[in-house]
């Protein structure tokens, strides 16, 4: 067989290009939820080859997805990783140990409900008291499961102002069911959208009539065009929105609108047009601190290393606007946009987790005491919030933080680390080659579980700069917990 020719993208200028949000893991299926002043983003997790248990599958192009991840931000520029919040292991009735596809978490009356597809086994729900979990399965069975096909993926749940909750889902058809107030039981029939007239009717009446089994079918005069998967159902200023991934491949981001929660729906256009630079997509949309954002997915992180197709995706985001009639003007592809505006400066005089960053390609992260977030057999049950650390540090790698406000001037820097080896951390401003403000040497601490503080004096750090922790002289294992300036 002919070898596939490979190439990669050059590393772009991070000041100029809107790059994927996370680099420590491959991520997909972004699902935002705002809690207080924090935007949390749940994502699914494309396993890296080292986390795929079957030796023969490590380099397969397909989906290897075992757990779901959580990230948060308050400034839309620097993100903190919280690791795996739960995995397929939470669903004892699952039939496969692969298939942790797109989820959505919503809050109601102080409880967090995480709706998850168990690919080929319906959609389940987990419940927790906080977005960090621990998440538990209250039902011990699927919430919905149409056994006659594998359409039951990509749940999207919204609680309307009158208290009625709805769950939309599906590929290649879009379904909807009402949820009861307990959020873990359903009410009435499953409805399916007929794309020809945009109307939702009970599956038992409509199923045979519409062309249910032609994936991605579309016609110019249809009311809802190009639906493929990944519905994101929400309401804004009295209008209902059904954003979705448009027909594959490449998938793009499109949307329909309605005056009622269950249609009739009408296609309004692309939010982001198809491009050959992407293939799959999946929208997550929210308002945050007076702005509106769309999250989606691409292969742009993988493209820095390879163009050979693997399901190793990365989540990107962009600001969107709404016109007075509620429609959303189209936005360019992520890489054709500038980095998102930072909403507030980062305070370096309070503890900053090592896993808080704007960029950190090549580095890895893990929850303390849980070395592997990949393989299901090694996973604990959903743990809830845990401290995390950064590891797998190599020479030339760095952590970048955007917009750090050093104020009148920093005097000292300290970093909590554990090491069986050593490394030098050169602290720089503005770029990975920018002015040096200090250098700190991390040395052996006795064990990787023993964290100690390593400090250095600082010169020349005042006012607002991007801040880089640049790693060199790396020898053996070093783990980073957090850092702080004085």
Which chain residues interact with ligand FUB by CB under 6 A?
A: 28-29, 44, 63, 101-102, 153-154, 229-230, 245, 280, 282
Q: In whole angstroms, how close is the CB of 252 to ligand FUB at the nearest point?
A: 12
Inter-residue contact 192 to 206 (CB < 8 Å): yes
Q: Which of 137, 152 has the CB closer to ligand FUB?
A: 152
Q: In whole angstroms, how close is the CB of 287 to ligand FUB at the nearest point?
A: 22
Inter-residue contact 224 to 256 (CB < 8 Å): yes
**Two tokens at 375?**
């393989």
Give one DSSP letter per residue of 176-196, joined into a string: EEEEPTTSSSEEEEEEEEETT
User: Residue 220's Cα: distance from chain center in Å?
Assistant: 33
Q: Which of 78, 228 has the CB closer to ligand FUB?
A: 228
Give Cβ neighbours of residue 221 (< 8 Å, ≥ 6 apart).
Answer: none
Q: In whole angstroms, how close is the CB of 44 to ligand FUB at the nearest point?
A: 5
Q: In whole angstroms, how close is the CB of 113 to ligand FUB at the nearest point?
A: 18
Q: Which of 131, 170 has the CB closer to ligand FUB?
A: 170
**Two tokens at 405?**
């406000």
Q: Which of 63, 471 has the CB closer to ligand FUB?
A: 63
Distances, alpha carbon 206 to alpha carbons 178, 191, 193, 217, 259, in Å: 17, 8, 9, 17, 22
Give one DSSP letter per residue of 420-466, joined into a string: SSEEEEEEEESSTTS-EEEEEEE---SSTT--EEEEEE--S--SEEE
Q: Which of 29, 90 has the CB closer to ligand FUB?
A: 29
Q: Which of 153, 301 has the CB closer to ligand FUB?
A: 153
Which helix (H) or strand (E) is 478 found in, with range?
strand 478-485
Q: Which of 270, 322 has the CB closer to ligand FUB?
A: 270
Q: Tell me which residue of 22, 152, 12 sits closest to 77, measured CA to CA.
A: 22
Q: Which of 119, 268 has the CB closer to ligand FUB?
A: 119
**Two tokens at 322?**
């709404």
Which helix (H) or strand (E) is 413 found in, with range?
strand 412-419
Indicate the length of the chain as a whole number.
Answer: 486
Q: Please, which residues bridge with residue 201 across strands?
A: 192
Q: In whole angstroms, how close is the CB of 229 to ligand FUB at the nearest point?
A: 4
Q: Which of 28, 429 has the CB closer to ligand FUB?
A: 28
**Two tokens at 92?**
């004892």
Distance CA 178, CA 24 (A): 37
Q: Which residue is nearest to ligand FUB (CB)?
A: 101
Inter-residue contact 359 to 434 (CB < 8 Å): no
Distances, alpha carbon 167 to alpha carbons 1, 216, 284, 370, 372, in Å: 46, 21, 15, 33, 33
Q: Which of 170, 360 has the CB closer to ligand FUB?
A: 170
Q: Which of 240, 244 has the CB closer to ligand FUB?
A: 244
- Tokens 């004085």 correspond to what residue? 486
**Two tokens at 101?**
């596809």
Which helix (H) or strand (E) is 205 found in, with range?
helix 203-206
Q: In whole angstroms, how close is the CB of 155 to ligand FUB at the nearest point?
A: 10
Q: In whole angstroms, how close is the CB of 165 to ligand FUB at the nearest point?
A: 21
Q: In whole angstroms, how close is the CB of 171 to ligand FUB at the nearest point?
A: 7
Q: In whole angstroms, how close is the CB of 311 to ligand FUB at the nearest point?
A: 8
Q: In whole angstroms, how close is the CB of 280 to ligand FUB at the nearest point?
A: 5
Q: In whole angstroms, how close is the CB of 230 to ligand FUB at the nearest point?
A: 4
């Amino acid at each position: 067989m002919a070898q596939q020719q490979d190439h990669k993208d050059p590393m772009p200028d991070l000041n100029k290009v809107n790059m994927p949000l996370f680099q420590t893991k491959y991520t997909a299926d972004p699902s935002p939820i705002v809690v207080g002043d924090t935007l949390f983003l749940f994502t699914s997790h494309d396993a890296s080859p080292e986390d795929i248990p079957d030796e023969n599958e490590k380099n397969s192009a397909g989906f290897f997805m075992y757990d779901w991840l959580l990230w948060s931000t308050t400034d839309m520029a620097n993100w903190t990783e919280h690791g795996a919040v739960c995995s397929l292991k939470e669903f004892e009735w699952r039939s496969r140990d692969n298939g942790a596809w797109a989820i959505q978490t919503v809050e109601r009356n102080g409880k967090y409900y995480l709706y998850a597809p168990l690919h080929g086994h319906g959609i389940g729900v987990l419940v927790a008291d906080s977005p960090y979990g621990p998440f538990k399965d209250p039902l011990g069975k699927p919430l919905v499961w149409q056994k006659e096909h594998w359409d039951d993926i990509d749940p999207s749940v919204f609680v309307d102002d009158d208290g009625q909750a709805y769950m939309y889902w599906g590929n290649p058809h879009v379904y909807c069911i009402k949820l009861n107030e307990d959020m873990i039981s359903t009410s009435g029939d499953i409805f399916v959208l007929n794309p020809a007239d945009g109307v939702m009717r009970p599956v038992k009446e409509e199923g045979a009539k519409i062309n249910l089994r032609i994936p991605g079918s579309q016609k110019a005069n249809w009311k809802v065009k190009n639906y493929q998967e990944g519905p994101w159902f929400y309401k804004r200023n009295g209008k209902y929105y059904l954003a979705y991934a448009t027909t594959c491949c490449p998938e793009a981001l499109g949307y329909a609108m309605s005056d009622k929660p269950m249609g009739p729906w009408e296609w309004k256009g692309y939010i982001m047009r198809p491009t050959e630079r992407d293939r799959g997509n999946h929208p997550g949309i929210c308002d945050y601190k007076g702005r509106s954002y769309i999250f989606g997915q691409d292969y742009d992180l993988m493209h820095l290393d390879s163009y050979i197709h693997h399901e190793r995706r990365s989540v990107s985001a962009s600001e969107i606007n709404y016109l007075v009639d509620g429609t959303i003007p189209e936005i360019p592809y992520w890489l054709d946009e500038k980095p998102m505006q930072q909403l507030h400066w980062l305070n370096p005089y309070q503890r900053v987790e090592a896993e808080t960053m704007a960029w950190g390609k090549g580095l890895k992260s893990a929850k303390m005491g849980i070395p592997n977030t990949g393989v299901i057999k090694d996973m604990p049950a959903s743990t809830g919030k845990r401290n995390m650390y950064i590891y797998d540090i190599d020479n030339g790698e760095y952590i970048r933080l955007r917009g750090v406000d050093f104020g009148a001037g920093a005097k000292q820097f300290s970093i909590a680390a554990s090491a069986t080896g050593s490394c030098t951390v050169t602290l720089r401003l503005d770029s990975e080659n920018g002015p040096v403000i200090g250098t700190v040497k991390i040395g052996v601490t006795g064990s990787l579980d023993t964290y100690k503080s390593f400090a250095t004096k600082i010169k020349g750090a005042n006012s607002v700069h991007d801040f880089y922790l640049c790693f060199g002289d790396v020898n053996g294992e070093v783990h980073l917990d957090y850092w702080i300036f004085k």
